[in-house]
Amino acid sequence: MRRIVLDTETTGLDPAQGHRVIEIGAIEMLDRQPTGRIYHVYLNPERAVDPGAQAVHGLSNEFLADKPAFSEQVDAFLAFVDAAELIIHNAPFDLGFLNAELGRLDRSDLSACTLGVTDTLKMARQLHPGQKNNLDALCRRYSVDNSGRKYHGALLDSELLAEVWLAMTRGQETLAIDPVVMAPQAFKLAGVNAVQLRVIEPSPIEMEAHASYLIALSKESKKELPAW
């Protein structure tokens, strides 16, 4: 299944008050493996960044002044997320901003081209009720290294969220243990270590000894052996 782990940075907290998207970071995953494809862009919001927001992400009006507008990037963005499930931390926030940007261009919202949304904040609250479940807290809980996160950044946060989501959902999709082949550069993002397992079959002598043990155990317990 194709998934896109996505995050945004914005000029403020509420798109209804005219705040805009200034950064989009997204990572493609296929069957729970990062493919190496990313989408990352800084955007000129055509308005000022709130000081409080700049303190969080560090993106200034001067830095964004020569960046493209969302209207110049919309086609590339929609092509990247098309026909994928989105994985977002606090999804209503990011979707509210992105759908507002699409609405300004008379485009359909993201539900028209994607296969649904997984909100990892909602998942975390169900798994860890009563605890902090922001991205930093989840990184600590799942041993994901976020030491390089001085500011919030859409691409960096997407990379961290991909690792957190893999840890949160490991083992949920299937009980089968199949070999996984990943490119070396994907190991760090996915948090997977390459391990080769060797199966050792018992010898005839070991099988006979095991059978004798079971017979003795049955006599001692005065119970019949189960039929295998």
Residues taking part in catalysis: 152
> Which residues, in sequence order, are CB contacts of 90 under 8 Å at separation 6+?
119, 121
3-state per-residue secondary structure call for 87-114: EECCHHHHHHHHHHHHHHCCCCCHHHCC
End-to-end CA distance of the chain: 39
Strand blocks (E) in the chain: 2-10, 21-30, 33-42, 85-88, 117-119
Task: Give residue 39's identity as a one-letter amino acid code.
Answer: Y
Q: Which of 145, 27, 129 is nearest to 86 (CA)?
A: 27
Spatial contact of 151 and 56, defined as CB atoms under 8 Å apart = yes
Token pair for 68: 């493209």
Q: How far apart are CA 135 and CA 2, in angstroms?
A: 23
Token pair 């997984």 in the structure block, residue: 118
Spatial contact of 77 and 41, defined as CB atoms under 8 Å apart = yes
Strand partners, 86: 4, 117
